[in-house]
Structure 1
Amino acid sequence: MPKIDPAVALTKHGDSYPPPFSAMCAQISRTKLGDAVGLTDFGVSLLRLPPGQWSAQRHWHEQEDEFLMVVEGEVVLVEEGVETVLVAGDFAGFPSDVANGHHLQNRSDRVAVVLEVGSRREGSGCHYPDIDLDAPANSPDYVHKDGTPY
């Protein structure tokens, strides 16, 4: 059935970053809407971003397009040298293989809700320009910038 109740979809809490990189994302939750309806070409999640939390570490993907739309609240989109306030109804997109690390920060005093969509291309590496972390293509594990595993 194409229609679902988002309340019954799988919700993941926190993230998978190794410490200490997980602290800024420890209280977030993502409801996996795309998985709940069987989508395989792209992922669709509803992100709940509490005050003081980040959506992710600042990152960019080699082969994965992403976009987001703020549903409720206010967030700050942090990119390479630029910060932009986004409010309900605002949209932002990130083409693959553009080395413009990005993430959202909730600097407000209430939970923000963001619809996130990303392509699911296998073998896409992910890079984290601010920290000693990489997610190599075709690997489920994080590594240091020098390639040693966590």
Structure 2
Amino acid sequence: MSKPSHVVNIDQVEAVDYREGEGWGGSYQPLTPALDALPGRLGANLTRLPPGRAGCPFHSHAREDEIFYVLSGRVVLRLGDSLQEIGPGDCISCPAGTGVAHQIANPFDQDLVYLGIGVNDPHEVCVYPDSGKVLVRHLKQVGRLESAPYYDGEPARPGIFDLLERQQALPRK
């Protein structure tokens, strides 16, 4: 079993396409396979976002800081309630835990190319304010939450007592 290389050359990294429909996604090249193999480690991708596409839905992170460094092209950054045009040499910091959502879109006529840097936290929780969705990575689920009282759906008699009675009823060896 071979270990991931600690040095990669961008010319030898296959692009991963993550397009969805007419307006979402682009492609990325994972630059840190030695770190990507270990959950919760810092990682970097070279991302290409074609004209007329947004990288992902407007979202905020509970645990993962993100950094985007623009190499070429232009981008519109949506950060909270503001929109700002960003270009080559600009670095965007999106700290986790602030509740401030962010999104990158390319409404321009040339590809946007940027480095995306962040942690792939296996316990990340993302909130998507535009759609009301929540991602819980540990559960491998994206969905919508609904409020419920704390004990809603729980049995009148806690199940632990049934388990205890069954265990005590078993003959001891």
> Aligned to 1:123, what secondary structure does the other structure show?
coil
Higher relative contact order (CA 8 A, sep 6+): 1
Alignment of 1:9 onto 2:35? no
Distance in 1 between residues matched to 2:44 and 2:24, nearest whole Å: 18
Q: CA separation in 1, counterparts of 2:43 and 2:7? A: 16
Picking from 32, 45, 69, the partner of 1:34 is 32
Contact 2:8 2:32 in 1 (8 A): no
Higher gyration radius (CA): 2
Unaligned runs of 5+ in 2: 148-173
TM superposition shift of 1:137: 4.8
Q: Which structure carries more helix by proportion?
A: 2
Are residue 88 (structure 1) and residue 88 (structure 2) matched?
yes
When normalised by structure 2's length, the TM-score is 0.73
Compute the RMSD of aligned alpha carbons: 1.8
Does structure 1 conserve the Cα–Cα contact (< 8 Å) formed by 2:64 and 2:121?
yes
Match of 1:19 in 2: none
Q: Retained in 1: the 8 A contact 2:69–2:89?
A: yes
Identity of aligned residues (%): 24
* Structure-2 separation of matches of 1:138 and 1:68: 24
Q: What 5-or-longer segments of structure 1 have no aligned partner? A: 16-21
Deviation at 1:127, TM superposition (A): 0.8
- What is aligned with 2:168? none
CA distance in 2 between partners of 1:73 and 1:34 (Å): 23
Aligned to 2:59: 59
TM-score (norm 1): 0.84
Structure 1 stretches of 4+ moved >3 Å: none
